[in-house]
Amino acid sequence: MVPAICTMDDLQALEQRALDELAGCQSEEALRAWNSRYLGRQGELTLALKKIGSLPASQRPAYGQAVNRLKESLQQAYNRQQSALREQVIARRLASEALDVTLPGRQPSRGRLHPATQMMREILAIFAEMGFQIFHSREVEDDLTNFELLNMPPHHPARDLWDTFYTTRPGIILRTHTSPGQIHVMRRLCPQPIRVVLPGMCYRYEQITPRSEIMFQQVEGLAVGTRVRLTDLVGTIQAFARRLFGRDRQVRLRSSYFPFTEPSLEVDVSCLVCGGRGCSLCKHTGWLEIMGAGMVHPVVLRNGGYDPSRFSGFAFGLGPQRITMLLYGVPDIRLFWSNDLRFLRQF
């Protein structure tokens, strides 16, 4: 029950009581309750003002002024208490959520390039220094370009060297090697001289073994001009092998067979582990095979638009995964695409 107030003494008592209670308000909620009890529309001060009608007319002005002064001073006291309370809340939060900005930050885990990317960049950089430009060719090929234009008509027995992934579209396959890129480059650049490397993924429907994957990268090389000779191929391969494997490497060419080169070669480097004396890596031969190569077959030159009586060319194809395995002693080619961080972190 709100006491009836209508004298100056009552106002004084009211003020004292309100201020005492205000000092005890320690939450926003308590403050709001106090505000409506004293300063609200139904609050004690409103009621005190309403009592003015019961006073003699002579006392009314002084009483009215006193009520208004009290209202103002209580409002100010309320504002002060409210901001003090808010400051306390902020101070408490700052203390409990304090950040030590001098602490060292969390070490972000560093990404790195995949070993396949690293080796690919290294190989391409070596050929770039020798003046080879990079040309990207398609991974989804047609049978015509992957085989026929490379001198392997349908039913040619050499097609068995490249077990193929076929698509549901007749004649559309996943390229089994980067060599069809030779045809694309020649048709694009004919009759200009050519010196390009073609990096990219190849696919073979093969048994997966520690040395053979069904998807692997190759780098194709192609040079075409009016005076390109076998000695240019040999010099290019030797320069490449010495840059990648070191000055002491010997390079050996063995006669081989590819339908799209004549003559065809396979290229070995002296074993990286035993230096040629014989060990388990080189199967006691002293040599490691690194690529296939040869002089571009006249049929292929013609299919690319070049007249083989005026133009000649050399080509080679190497496998970066096999080379990485040799250089770093990787025992199993499946590690490359296994996403095993323990393997990837070693590079």
Contact positions toward ligand FA5, by CB under 6 A?
Answer: 177, 179, 204, 206, 212-213, 216, 218, 220, 258, 261, 291-294, 315-319, 321-322, 333
Q: CA 222 to CA 162: how far, in whole Å? A: 20
Smallest gap from residue 103 Cβ to ligand FA5 (A): 49
Quote the crossing angle between the two packed helices 115-129 and 230-245, to the nearest 10°: 130
d(CA 241, CA 101): 53
The CB-nearest residue to ligand FA5 is 319
Q: CA torsion sign, 121 to 125 to 127 to 128? A: positive
CB of 333 to ligand FA5, least distance (A): 6
Smallest distance, ligand FA5 to C-beta of residue 342, A = 22
Residue nearer to ligand FA5 on the CB measure, 81 or 179: 179
Under 8 Å between Cβ of 177 and 116: no
Residue 233 CB coordination number (10 Å):
24
CB nearer to ligand FA5: pick between 45 and 301: 301
Which of 14, 219 has the CB closer to ligand FA5? Answer: 219
Nearer to ligand FA5, 6 or 189 (CB): 189
For residue 251, give both structure tokens. Answer: 């390079």
Least separation in angstroms between residue 309's CB and ligand FA5 is 21
Rounded to a whole number of angstroms, the minimum distance from the CB of residue 178 to ligand FA5 is 7
Q: Which is nearer to ligand FA5, 270 or 321 (CB)?
A: 321
In angstroms, give the least distance from the CB of 194 to ligand FA5: 13
Side chain identity at residue 338, one-letter code: S
By beta-carbon proximity to ligand FA5, the closer residue of 75 and 238 is 238
Query: Smaller CB distance to ligand FA5: residue 199 or 292?
Result: 292
Least distance in Å: CB of 221 to ligand FA5? 7
Nearest distance from C-beta of residue 323 to ligand FA5, angstroms: 7
Nearer to ligand FA5, 63 or 216 (CB): 216
> Nearer to ligand FA5 by C-beta: 271 or 291?
291
Taking the complex as a whole, the smallest distance from the CB of residue 208 to ligand FA5 amounts, in Å, to 8
